[in-house]
Amino acid sequence: MIKDQEDIIEDYKWEISRKDFLKSLLVLGVAANIPFLTSCETKEDPEFFDCTPLSPEQLKVLQALQLVLFPKEGNGPSALEVNADKWIVYVLNDVREPQREKDFIVEHLEGLNLLSKETHKVSYDLLSMDRQEDLLELFFEEKAPKRWGSRMLTLIFEALLLDPLYGVNPNNIGWTWLNHNPGTPRPNKQNIYPTIYTTMNEV
């Protein structure tokens, strides 16, 4: 369906507002001191990686959710293009992350999928985009799921804004989209978060 002029204008306004919002996060230094993301183990299929502790079905639900929260629009990257799915898998495996927070992420991811199966008889990732959006709106009517949605969006922002050395924002795709100059010095393998964390604990 061809969009009319008002729809095109609204889409343009959203694209501009989204970019301005993310630029403000950079100015405020939100991307600083974020734990390190190691690259997930890739297999022969470049789209497959070790998603433990998530099941393959949960990973598909996560990826579908991320594309609803942060889709590819205009010239900007989608959540998956900045490796946000791999970032969340890392968070779930990070020994420094409180277990209650990990459980919170997984339990609500499973809760969203359960709601999909109860309502539409299929997994969330198999729904059309419109139905995914409608179901997510229904899911967010409760306070805890709404807080979970905010957490998931924050994790996407982290993947978008981090230095590519951390395994996200590949080829500076997020920075290029935001016209962001990261400045110098850039992090290196000697001063990334895990190295500093380990060194501090050995002293």
Distance of CA 71 to the CA centre of its chain: 11
In the predicted structure, residue 203 carries a pLDDT above the cut 70: no
Residue 19 lies in a domain: no
Residue 108 falls within a domain, yes or no? Answer: yes
Q: Is residue 3 part of a domain?
A: no
The residue segments making up the domain with residue 39 are: 34-202
Question: By mean pLDDT, which of 24-28, 49-53, 126-130, 185-189 is the weakest?
Answer: 24-28
pTM over 0.85, yes/no = no
Question: Residue 62: what pLDDT?
Answer: 97
User: Is the N-terminal amide bond of 185 cis, ω within 30° of 0?
Assistant: yes
148 CB contacts (<8 Å, ≥6 apart)?
A: 104, 105, 108
Residue type, position 70, single letter: F
Average pLDDT over residues 45-71: 87
How many domains does the chain fold into? 1
Is 175 within a domain? yes
- For the stretch 69-123, pLDDT in tens is 999 877 789 999 999 999 999 899 988 889 999 999 999 999 999 999 999 999 9
Phi-psi region of 199 (alpha: psi -120 to 50; beta: other; left: phi over 0): alpha
N-terminal to C-terminal alpha carbon distance within the chain? 63
pLDDT confidence of residue 34: 39
pLDDT computed for residue 16 by the predictor: 47
d(CA 33, CA 149): 22
Whole-number pLDDT of residue 94: 87
In a domain, 154, yes or no: yes
Q: Quick check: is 8 in a domain? A: no
